[in-house]
Amino acid sequence: MKYFKRLFLVCVTSISLSSISLAQTNGSIAGVSNTATSADCAAQAVEKKLAGAALNSFTKKCERDAATESCITAASDRKLRGAAKNSFTKKCIKDATNRD
């Protein structure tokens, strides 16, 4: 069991480092930090002892929820309202959760 936890942490670290380099390449979208979100969600998943499909599903939903909160906050900070807020938030969430 310890082997799997270590392997998981190595994978999370690799993903985090990839996110950092990607963020430096593409810039930050509205201040959303994918690296912090990934690390927080991964820590919660380890705490819940999730594995396999449950781990993937939880992590994806957790990251999307965190991105949504950050994007809504960014839209409010920019004082966007109505259709402009909806459009900005939708694009921000899409960009923040894009895994390609």
Q: How far apart are CA 53 and CA 2, in angstroms?
A: 20
Q: Please, which pLDDT band fits residue 67 given cuts at 50, 70 and 90? A: confident
Helix axes 34-47, 2-26, angle to 10 degrees: 170
Q: What is the pTM of this model?
A: 0.56
Q: Please, which pLDDT band fits residue 30 given cuts at 50, 70 and 90? A: very low
